[in-house]
Structure 1
Amino acid sequence: MKKLIITVPLLTGFVALAQGTQKNDSAKVQEIKEVVMTKKVFKKESDRFVYDVAASPVAKGNTAFGLLKETPLVSSTDDKTLKIAGKSNAVIYINGRVTQMDAESLVQFLKNTPAENIQKIEVITMPGSEYKVESSDGIINIVLKKKASNGLNGSLRMNNQQNYYNSTGAGLSLNYRKDKLGISTNINTSENIEEQYYILKNGNSTATNQSEGRITDPNKNLGGYLNIDYQLNDKNSLALTYNSRANRSYNSTVNLFNTTTDSVKNETDYTWTRSKEDARSYNNSANLNYELKTDSLGSKLNLNVAGLLYKRFQNSNNFTIASDQNGNDGGRLLKIYQEQPQVIHNFSATADYVQKFKKDLTVSFGGNFNKTKTDNDTKYDTYNYITNVVDPQPNHFLYDENIFGGYLTVEKVFSPKFSGKLGARYELTNSEGHSDNAQDENLRNIKRDYDKLLPYLSMNYAINDKNTISYAFSSRMRRPSFWELNPVRNILTEFNYTQNNPFVKASSVYNQELTYMYKSSYFLILSHSLTKDQITQVPLQGVIDGKNQLRYIRTNFGDKQQLSAMLGMQKTFFKGYLTSNFNIGVQRNMNNGSLNQDPLTGDIFPTYENHIASNSLLIQTNNNIRLDKNKTWFLGMNYFYVDQQQIELGQLHSLMSLDLNIKKIWDQWTFSLGLDDVLNTHKIVIEDYQQNGNYNYVNQNQYRRGVELTIVYNFGNQKVKKVRTIDSADKDIKNRTR
């Protein structure tokens, strides 16, 4: 049911400034404890913001994910994804190296990583050319504490959460260090049922559709990782990283009551949509790293090779059942059976070299190669119970993609006050897709070869000890996820479904940002983003074959601009008893797109247009209050508000949530009780009215309000040095499996 539910993946970018989108598609992550700061806990350095959390007792019992949500400029509106101000996504690095796992697994990884192991968190809003990230993605680099003691330590975490249903989770993390050998491992499991309630309306003056009911999605997850790091000598190191995740989602159900009216004929029809879906997925990846230090200044060579195998198997039965206005069944009318397997194989390799010179000059260059094959052998059979007609529509979609890339950056410190970085990345992409169900024979083979030069510039000037100003410009690409290219339908009802698109092409994103910081506590960020050929879902609505239909088409939809201004503060008051992080900003979204044709079927619809600009207010505040002198009791109060604004699907109503939590630290034990969405205000509502008379309304309740109890026990030698974390060669590919 994941990608069938259109509003979940769509409602993320526009809340980026206030909070940072998928609980049931979970994978692995590690928890991080909250942190209290001392001295300059938040400051601007060259191309990044640095949040020093090493001295904070609040970290104890928290997770990496929990701590990141309270980091200045970082937020999450769904407890599944992390956002950076003005960014659609956050790529997680650890000790300067990207995490070795897919996007969904990363969340579970962060939720199972102890926060007290963290030294500082670096937020890079505009990554340089050396970083292989896409679109407007920013980077969060988690720097772990470095301790030299040999030994074994670990932590055991258990949590129970009650929303609409109860969910449970547990994780065990171990870290071993013996001289030159380091081993770390984690295993975690969780079980949850995600419940959502929908009210969907669409139509015009002559015909209307309304669907109302529940979508229930149970999930069981098992994941883990193994990191082995061996220092051959003072200059040479080898590391192997292996990650694995399995997800099972059996008996996911849709129960929607449909009301269809025809004003011309003065007729009203009632039906039920009932469906059942079974799905399971497996994600296994490995990365081998070699690092060579070439001098005492910090120059080094890094080589990586990685392999990724992702499998997802999904089948569903979707029934349309006749009914009366009271919901009484009247017999089956239609059955749609789908099998949607997806298999992804990837091989990746990277080479990076950093040369440091004595005169504050650093030159970095490197290259990468990614080879990906996807295989999607989809079955789509329709059976009409009235006519006894079976309409099979098989589709075997194969996609091959090769990416070659290279970069060069030069960073220079001109004076103690002024520094700059200049760089460029060149990327060449060769891709070919083959689909059996293209309407036009000439479109059965979809081949694309394109290249792009992506420049980067940043400058940082310290006016004096209290005032710093910086500017950055970055250009990136946003390639479609592999599932977006697979030309299949995800059925919600017979006439309401999402449609993926193998013709989606990469979009180009241009970002610029001006930042001013005062006393390492207050900051102002002005930013502008331009996306050409924006990738999104567009609602096409009209009468096809005598029926009013609504199709959410995945496509390139014109251009989009975003202007934003954010004023923020990160400061400690009352001798450390209160730590407050507060952001307030305004955002202007400017959309410019139109579409009138289904790219797969060729069906023509009334043109859907979005040329609307909107302004919105964004507020976020995170507060940690120390309740006792011994630093054992803490109260957390977090709030966000996102004003209504125009997005690709229409006007998104305002969102807000108040979360509370109380924490008790007792020796090596930490007990935490959290209340999420206390006011029950986090509900998604979208309305869209077109000049041609069509309208579309989406009301989605994800039952965010709930209570969560977490117990963490730390054991062993807490001074054990962490294993060196490795920058996986296939880091950007993993995010596209999501």
Structure 2
Amino acid sequence: MKTPILIAAIFFSGLIFAQEKKSDTVKTKTIEGITLTKQIFKKQSDRFVYDVAASPVTKGNTTFDLLKQTPLLSTTDDKTLKIAGKNNALIYINGRKTNMDAESLTQFLKNTPAENIQRIEVITVPGSEYQVESSDGIINIVLKKKMSDGTSGNMRMANTQNKYNSSQASFSLNYRKGKLGVSANLNGGENINPQAYILRNGTDKIRNESVGNIDDPNKNIGGYLNIDYQLTEKSNWALSWNSWANKSYNSTIDLLNTITRFDNGNLVSTDYTRTKNKEDARNYNNSVNLNYEVKLDSLGSKLNLNAAYLNYKRFQYSDNNTMVPGQNNDFSQFSKKIIQDIPQIINNFSGTVDYIQKLKNDYTFSVGGNFNKTKTDNDTKNYTFLYDNNGNQQPVEEDFNHFVYDENIYGLYLTFEKKFSDKFSGKIGTRYEITNSLGTSDNASPEYRRIERNYNNLLPYLSFNYAINDKNNISYSFSSRMRRPSFWELNPVKNIITEDNYTQNNPFVKASSTYNQELTYMYKNSYFLILNHSLFKDVITQVPLQRKYMDNNVERVQLAYIRTNFGTKQEMSAMVGIQKSFFKQYLTTNFNIGVQHNINDGTLNTDPTTGQIFDNYVNNTNSTSIVIQTNNTLRLDKKKTWFLGVNYFFVDKQQIELGLLKNLMSLDLSLKKNWNDWTFAVNVNDVLRTNIVEIEDFQASGNYNYIRNDQFRRSMTVSITYNFGNQKVKKVRDIESASDAIKNRTR
């Protein structure tokens, strides 16, 4: 059962002070008395560049291990990567977005040797040519090009133990012969995602508490097939197919609910119920993309065309039960049963065109466009069964809602880039987007049966980079973006948690706007300072609304988590960091420390979907937080076969939309052994078991809300990887699917 309360994930960065050695900052090579130096980490006009081919961390690592050592990047679950200060990190390979789902992408990165990588580019503020939303950043992995033909591959098996045991396996194969390249992957696994919840809300007179567990069993299988063929010396075509299936049957929620009533601080009564929910769900995600690329001249000008189709299906059936104490006080008697059938089907057709013209004197002109046509079909059915005190069933209440959402997006961008000198370069661009959407509901009240929205957005972009001298560099970026709601957020379905606790999606959610500014200073390509400011308007989030009501002359209190647009928010941060190697490259580290200030301004008291009136929820609180992160790799022997990893992050308490998020921290350790073509690894995450989410909110009205969510992040993973074949195989050209921007909104 997917987490019913969506909590913003927060990833941050930090700092270390250490002795500097010039030889650690650059790779040095002497040729006939001439010393050549190569920078490992540097800032270009719109991105940070980490030249891993010259880094001591590369040898024996996987791509995922290498990304964890890249400045500004972090992971807290050994699955997902985040850029400091960004909501999400999109993975690109050779300038093209990876056309695979998150789980397959993780396996791909964990099974690709780091020796195949030339450099990693971190784009904190993407330009107008990128189809990204909100404050998303980009990680671009550039592969080495001079590699021979042949076949290579790898097999990986892993076993993880937290509250439950889980297993994963993958098989990857790469083949290149002349003009033809084929890349394929098959991976799967099974696991149970456990969560423990404590939910409290109420006033000084009535309080609700729900305590219990969620167990979500999952079986997954997926893979991809990429085919690349060189038609001529200047043109290529490629076909990519991705597939993923998940089966989650017998997911359960088991919560003990306590309602206590007070009068002048004295306990009046206590009532108990039990929530026992069961859910069966399965989903399928298939996408195919056809790409054609032609090089137009020797300067690098090219034309790129993409056409894609995406099909996503999710079927969810849940049985939600409220139990009351029976004669033996064993919660065997039904009070209420709600059966929900919540299917969703998404079909998307997409196309993109990109034309890049390289001119003499270091001018680059780019123009392009995209088109997305999406249809989502949500046919929700709710059946409510009530029972009297003797356990007899009352007449069934039916609530059906067939919601269909059609959306067309037209986009056009234009960018101009110029290198004015060896020291100064700049880039300016804009993206213009037209969105036409229509939502229709067969069973809603007349005012909600047809929801039509048409809006246009002009999204400018600007950046410049100035190298003051060989030791000092300064850059600035500005970007305007928007975030469209995910398709599941628009489906007006209510997900039952307990009798008085639920989440409500909203078809009236509109796109939000984001304005990002970033100023960066670097010293000796090792030390950096980043100042960032982000302004969010019409923030799409979840708001906890509370109200008191009477049920059979008994006062109760209800809490609903409403998906909606909620005011404005500002985030300001300052971060200093270092990326270096020490002690003859026995220690490689990146440390960051920063301070973040959040300004929240939002008020809500009405569910926009149902019109239900709640008490005012106000979030106009500011907060200032310290954030620290350190990632370290220690080489334990001269032969570079044993490696110890020590990673740690800490984030101070800070105000988010749901309330005050208390501090988080995690210590992760890893030990790895390279032996010929084999790699043996042990990873222990959240050693101190401190990565547990707690959120608390107090309103001036006396309403309060508390959430404690433990996802059992302390775990140990043992893995074995075997690489076979010619490891110098030239990788298949990775192509950005025209439907990638849409696929991200299905998650």
Shorter-normalised TM range: over 0.9
Q: Report the alpha carbon displacement of residue 81 of structure 1 after superposing the two structures with TM.
A: 3.1
CA distance in 2: counterparts of 1:655 and 1:106, whole angstroms: 27
Change (3 A) 1:312 1:332: same
CA distance in 2: counterparts of 1:103 and 1:534, whole angstroms: 25
**Structure-2 residue corresponding to 1:391:** 397
Change (3 A) 1:59 1:672: farther
Q: Is residue 411 of structure 2 the alignment partner of residue 405 of structure 1?
A: yes
Task: In structure 2, give the amino acid aligned to 1:734.
Answer: K
Q: Is residue 531 of structure 2 the alignment partner of residue 526 of structure 1?
A: yes
Q: Report the alpha carbon displacement of residue 629 of structure 1 after superposing the two structures with TM.
A: 0.3
Q: Is residue 195 of structure 2 the alignment partner of residue 196 of structure 1?
A: yes
Q: Report the alpha carbon displacement of residue 552 of structure 1 after superposing the two structures with TM.
A: 0.3
Partner residue of 2:613 out of 604, 612, 626: 604
Range 470-479 or range 71-80, more displaced: 71-80
Partner residue of 1:15 out of 11, 36, 41: 11
Asked if structure 2 preserves the Cα contact closer than 8 Å seen for 1:567 and 1:585, the reply is yes
Q: Report the alpha carbon displacement of residue 730 of structure 1 after superposing the two structures with TM.
A: 1.0
Larger Rg: 2
Task: In structure 2, give the amino acid aligned to 1:648.
Answer: E
**Structure-2 residue corresponding to 1:476:** 481
Range 462-471 or range 138-147, more displaced: 138-147
Q: Report the alpha carbon displacement of residue 55 of structure 1 after superposing the two structures with TM.
A: 5.0
CA distance in 2: counterparts of 1:179 and 1:330, whole angstroms: 69
- 1:212-235 deviation digits (Å, cap 9, x = unpaired): 011001111101000000001111
Q: Is residue 158 of structure 2 the alignment partner of residue 159 of structure 1?
A: yes
CA distance in 1: counterparts of 2:721 and 2:103, whole angstroms: 23
**Structure-2 residue corresponding to 1:25:** none
- 1:261-318 deviation digits (Å, cap 9, x = unpaired): 2225922110110111111111000100000100000000000000000001110101
Asked if structure 1 preserves the Cα contact closer than 8 Å seen for 2:417 and 2:426, the reply is yes
CA distance in 1: counterparts of 2:345 and 2:41, whole angstroms: 43
Give the 3-state SS of the residue equivalent to 1:133 in structure 2: coil
Change (3 A) 1:418 1:150: same
**Structure-2 residue corresponding to 1:24:** none
Asked if structure 2 preserves the Cα contact closer than 8 Å seen for 1:16 and 1:88, the reply is no
Q: Report the alpha carbon displacement of residue 42 of structure 1 after superposing the two structures with TM.
A: 1.5
CA distance in 1: counterparts of 2:352 and 2:566, whole angstroms: 33
Task: In structure 2, give the amino acid aligned to 1:306.
Answer: A
Give the 3-state SS of the residue equivalent to 1:54 in structure 2: helix
Q: Report the alpha carbon displacement of residue 16 of structure 1 after superposing the two structures with TM.
A: 4.6
Partner residue of 2:631 out of 622, 634, 654: 622
**Structure-2 residue corresponding to 1:416:** 422
Partner residue of 2:379 out of 373, 377, 380: 377
Task: In structure 1, give the amino acid aligned to 2:592.
Answer: N
Asked if structure 1 preserves the Cα contact closer than 8 Å seen for 2:581 and 2:588, the reply is yes
Asked if structure 1 preserves the Cα contact closer than 8 Å seen for 2:326 and 2:333, the reply is no
**Structure-2 residue corresponding to 1:22:** none
Give the 3-state SS of the residue equivalent to 1:65 in structure 2: helix
Give the 3-state SS of the residue equivalent to 1:464 in structure 2: coil
* TM-score calculated relative to the size of structure 1: 0.95
CA distance in 1: counterparts of 2:434 and 2:527, whole angstroms: 41
CA distance in 2: counterparts of 1:651 and 1:478, whole angstroms: 24
Task: In structure 2, give the amino acid aligned to 1:292.
Answer: V
Give the 3-state SS of the residue equivalent to 2:274 in structure 1: strand
Asked if structure 1 preserves the Cα contact closer than 8 Å seen for 2:384 and 2:396, the reply is yes
Equivalent residue runs for 1:450-489 within 5 Å: 450-489=455-494
**Structure-2 residue corresponding to 1:579:** 588
Range 330-339 or range 448-457, more displaced: 330-339
Asked if structure 2 preserves the Cα contact closer than 8 Å seen for 1:37 and 1:54, the reply is no
* TM-score calculated relative to the size of structure 2: 0.94
Asked if structure 1 preserves the Cα contact closer than 8 Å seen for 2:370 and 2:411, the reply is yes
Range 204-213 or range 99-108, more displaced: 99-108
Equivalent residue runs for 1:32-431 within 5 Å: 38=27, 39-54=38-53, 58-59=57-58, 62-103=61-102, 105-264=104-263, 266-323=268-325, 328-386=330-388, 388-431=394-437
Q: Report the alpha carbon displacement of residue 82 of structure 1 after superposing the two structures with TM.
A: 2.2
Give the 3-state SS of the residue equivalent to 1:394 in structure 2: strand
Q: Is residue 655 of structure 2 the alignment partner of residue 646 of structure 1?
A: yes
Partner residue of 2:685 out of 676, 681, 684: 676
Asked if structure 2 preserves the Cα contact closer than 8 Å seen for 1:57 and 1:631, the reply is no
Task: In structure 2, give the amino acid aligned to 1:151.
Answer: G
- 1:463-482 deviation digits (Å, cap 9, x = unpaired): 00010000000000000000
Asked if structure 2 preserves the Cα contact closer than 8 Å seen for 1:58 and 1:634, the reply is no
Asked if structure 2 preserves the Cα contact closer than 8 Å seen for 1:271 and 1:324, the reply is no
Change (3 A) 1:524 1:302: same
**Structure-1 residue corresponding to 2:743:** 734
Change (3 A) 1:16 1:508: farther
Q: Report the alpha carbon displacement of residue 91 of structure 1 after superposing the two structures with TM.
A: 1.1
Task: In structure 1, give the amino acid aligned to 2:354.
Answer: D
Give the 3-state SS of the residue equivalent to 2:639 in structure 1: coil
CA distance in 1: counterparts of 2:412 and 2:12, whole angstroms: 30
Aligned residues: 717
CA distance in 1: counterparts of 2:65 and 2:456, whole angstroms: 39
Task: In structure 1, give the amino acid aligned to 2:168.
Answer: G
CA distance in 2: counterparts of 1:182 and 1:452, whole angstroms: 40
Partner residue of 1:536 out of 532, 537, 541: 541
**Structure-1 residue corresponding to 2:566:** 557
CA distance in 1: counterparts of 2:225 and 2:636, whole angstroms: 38
Q: Report the alpha carbon displacement of residue 66 of structure 1 after superposing the two structures with TM.
A: 3.6
Q: Which stretches in structure 1 are left out of the alignment for 5+ residues?
A: 20-35
**Structure-1 residue corresponding to 2:30:** none
- 1:143-180 deviation digits (Å, cap 9, x = unpaired): 12223311100011111111111111011110000000
Give the 3-state SS of the residue equivalent to 2:743 in structure 1: helix
Task: In structure 1, give the amino acid aligned to 2:191.
Answer: N
Asked if structure 2 preserves the Cα contact closer than 8 Å seen for 1:81 and 1:89, the reply is no
Q: Is residue 686 of structure 2 the alignment partner of residue 687 of structure 1?
A: no
Give the 3-state SS of the residue equivalent to 1:226 in structure 2: strand
CA distance in 2: counterparts of 1:269 and 1:233, whole angstroms: 76
CA distance in 1: counterparts of 2:51 and 2:328, whole angstroms: 60
CA distance in 2: counterparts of 1:474 and 1:259, whole angstroms: 49
Task: In structure 2, give the amino acid aligned to 1:241.
Answer: S
CA distance in 2: counterparts of 1:338 and 1:663, whole angstroms: 47
Asked if structure 2 preserves the Cα contact closer than 8 Å seen for 1:244 and 1:285, the reply is yes
CA distance in 1: counterparts of 2:13 and 2:722, whole angstroms: 34
- 1:115-167 deviation digits (Å, cap 9, x = unpaired): 44322211000000011111111111011222331110001111111111111
CA distance in 2: counterparts of 1:557 and 1:140, whole angstroms: 30
CA distance in 2: counterparts of 1:505 and 1:697, whole angstroms: 28
Task: In structure 1, give the amino acid aligned to 2:165.
Answer: N
CA distance in 2: counterparts of 1:356 and 1:327, whole angstroms: 78
Q: Which stretches in structure 2 are left out of the alignment for 5+ residues?
A: 16-24, 28-37
Task: In structure 2, give the amino acid aligned to 1:642.
Answer: V
Q: Report the alpha carbon displacement of residue 695 of structure 1 after superposing the two structures with TM.
A: 0.3
CA distance in 2: counterparts of 1:37 and 1:396, whole angstroms: 61
CA distance in 2: counterparts of 1:107 and 1:324, whole angstroms: 49
Change (3 A) 1:378 1:48: same
Partner residue of 2:670 out of 651, 661, 666: 661
Give the 3-state SS of the residue equivalent to 1:136 in structure 2: coil
Asked if structure 1 preserves the Cα contact closer than 8 Å seen for 2:151 and 2:176, the reply is yes
Task: In structure 2, give the amino acid aligned to 1:475.
Answer: S
Task: In structure 2, give the amino acid aligned to 1:504.
Answer: V
- 1:373-430 deviation digits (Å, cap 9, x = unpaired): 0001111111012261311111111000000000000000011000000000000000
Q: Report the alpha carbon displacement of residue 368 of structure 1 after superposing the two structures with TM.
A: 0.4
- 1:678-710 deviation digits (Å, cap 9, x = unpaired): 111111110000000000000111111111111
Task: In structure 1, give the amino acid aligned to 2:321.
Answer: F
Change (3 A) 1:108 1:372: farther
Give the 3-state SS of the residue equivalent to 1:734 in structure 2: helix
Asked if structure 1 preserves the Cα contact closer than 8 Å seen for 2:100 and 2:224, the reply is no
